[in-house]
Amino acid sequence: MEDIYLQAAAIVVAVISVLIAIFQFMLFLGLPLADYSWGGKYQGVLPKRMRYLSLPSALLLLSFGFIFLIHTRIFSFEFDLPTNFFVWTITIFMGLNTLGNLASKSTKERIVMTPLACTMFISCLFVLIFSK
């Protein structure tokens, strides 16, 4: 597969990762967006203990995008970083995340987060299948 298609898919993963990371950071800051997360269990502002989970989630999401940019050589280093395991893990995680969002009791989460997670999963899968 041509590198340009793999890199485009990796950029999609990175952009969606950044968008969801920003969302998680907004949850951490206490913005009233809880309806779009955690299966609709909370409304308005997340409880403090749940807000604290949003910050590591945001950082993890940023690393997802970065890993895909490294894997497709958009970012390169003088040495190869072993990204295959992480690409597999992130792809599986995003597939499960898509199913979780789809099964959410929150209509807002299903409408907004499911398409984002699904697009990210499909892009991850594309990179996983067609990368060297």
Q: What is the pLDDT of residue 1?
A: 59
Place of tokens 């969801």: 20
- Let me know if 82 is exposed, middle or buried by CB neighbors in 10 A (0-12, 13-18, 19+): exposed
Place of tokens 């893990």: 89
Average pLDDT of span 102-130: 96
User: What whole-number percentage of the chain has pLDDT above 90?
Assistant: 87
pTM of the model: 0.92
Q: What is the pLDDT of residues 37-66, one digit of tens each?
A: 988 899 999 999 999 999 999 999 999 999
Q: What is the pLDDT of residues 61-95, one digit of tens each?
A: 999 999 999 999 998 877 777 899 999 999 999 99
